[in-house]
Structure 1
Amino acid sequence: MKTKLNELLEFPCFFTYKVMGIADQKLPDQVVEVVQRYAPGDYAPKVTTSSKNRYHSISITIKVVNIKQIETLYRELANLPLVRVVL
């Protein structure tokens, strides 16, 4: 069964991104900076460090208004130099 994400969501809604990248203190600020461009607001991302302190996992929940906004944020977050994966 193939279902598109926009068929499963009712907009506006809250959507959580998980960004994984190199453990650098700048990464959370860079993620918030990108999110602010497309969905201004107050954000408190949750940062988790890997067991060997090499990577950070950042979870950030935002209110999205359409599927284009979701897709744009995926692309923009993935383009950050420190980011390795965006889920």
Structure 2
Amino acid sequence: MKKEHSAETLIEFPCHYQFKVVGAGGEQFRNAVVAAVERSLPVSADAVKVKPSKTGSYQSVSVVVTVHNYDQLKSIYADLRLVDGVQMLL
């Protein structure tokens, strides 16, 4: 019998989880990413890291938070997908 593997069964909750979002450069994008995560969990200032591209056109915003269950993880990803300017979500 084939065993199914999914994030729900592979991740042990609660856990520290890093959301990485690549998108448009600028403070507005960073703030929108943080606000999307904050709909589900509080985000401390030191939990946010921003790395701009060489040209400044894009940036990656990493946010590390403690996720308590799979539904919370799914909810945060759903909110991040709605942020204007998202090019990639990891």
Q: How does 1:63-82 map to 2 (within 5 A)?
A: 63-82=66-85
C-alpha distance in structure 1 between counterparts of 2:68 and 2:45, whole Å: 17
Aligned length: 87
- Structure with higher Rg: it is 2
Unaligned residue ranges in structure 1 (runs of 5+): none
Question: Secondary structure, in 3 states, of the residue corresponding to 1:27?
Answer: helix
Would you say 1:8 and 2:7 are equivalent positions? no
- 2:57 maps to a residue whose letter is R
Unaligned residue ranges in structure 2 (runs of 5+): none
Cα distance change on mapping 1:18 and 1:69 into 2, 3 Å = same
Any conservation in 2 of the 1:18–1:60 contact (CA below 8 Å)? yes
The share of aligned pairs that are identical, in percent, is 30
1:84 matched to which residue of 2?
87
TM-score by length of structure 2 reads 0.86
Question: Deviating runs (4+, > 6 A) in structure 1?
Answer: none
- 1:19 maps to a residue whose letter is V
